């Protein structure tokens, strides 16, 4: 039977504590992800409201057939072409230029476009679906970073604690092993007292 010094009692398994630490890290990661998603949603909504104040829908009329743009583009969820068009900005000033239109749009077709305060074609304000996707992506990324970092810290602490525990066990074994194995008695010199 091994002799134990007071205060060096054998400790029960630390698995429940490790599990609790990992569950805590997971909970913190989920909370951080939710906070990040909410913040991104609020910031996106504010930016979209500010942009919407300077965007206006007007009706443009194509003055030529649609052509594929020199560089492939997607506008929203559909592939777009470009066509020359005329329109009036909100103050009824005539404007002309090239606008994005659905592919194969013929000359003379009325198309609704978004323009800025100066009447130049502009991207539309963001939609709730775009904002939701951005928020979800950002929240997931934040939760992932916090979760991986937290789990890494828990594992690092576990390794350090395990190393200290194994070091203490080795030191205790160095004291007990010679007595336990009988090496102390076999290797004793003639002047040593026998127990």
Q: Which residues pair with 122 in a beta bridge?
A: none
Check residue 191 and give its pLDDT: 47
pLDDT band at residue 140 using 50, 70 and 90 as cut-offs: very high
Average pLDDT over residues 34-51: 92
- What's the mean per-residue pLDDT of the chain? 81
pLDDT band at residue 43 using 50, 70 and 90 as cut-offs: very high
Prediction pTM value: 0.57
Check residue 185 and give its pLDDT: 59
Check residue 2 and give its pLDDT: 46
């Amino acid at each position: 039977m091994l002799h134990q010094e007071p205060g060096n009692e054998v400790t029960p398994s630390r698995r429940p504590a490790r599990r609790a630490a990992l569950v805590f890290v997971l909970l913190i990661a989920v909370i951080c992800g939710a906070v990040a998603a909410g913040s991104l949603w609020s910031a996106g909504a504010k930016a979209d409201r500010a942009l919407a104040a300077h965007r206006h829908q007007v009706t443009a009329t194509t003055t030529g057939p649609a052509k594929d743009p020199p560089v492939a583009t997607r506008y929203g969820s559909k592939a777009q072409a470009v066509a020359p068009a005329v329109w009036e900005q909100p103050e009824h000033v005539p404007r002309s230029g090239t606008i994005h239109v659905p592919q194969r749009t013929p000359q003379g077709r009325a198309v609704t476009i978004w323009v800025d305060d100066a009447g130049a074609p502009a991207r539309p304000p963001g939609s709730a679906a775009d904002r939701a996707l951005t928020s979800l992506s950002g929240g997931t990324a934040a939760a992932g970073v916090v979760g991986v970092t937290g789990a890494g810290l828990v594992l690092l602490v576990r390794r350090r604690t395990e190393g200290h525990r194994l070091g203490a066990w080795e030191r205790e074994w160095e004291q007990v092993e010679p007595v336990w194995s009988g090496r102390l008695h076999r290797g004793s010199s003639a002047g040593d007292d026998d127990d």
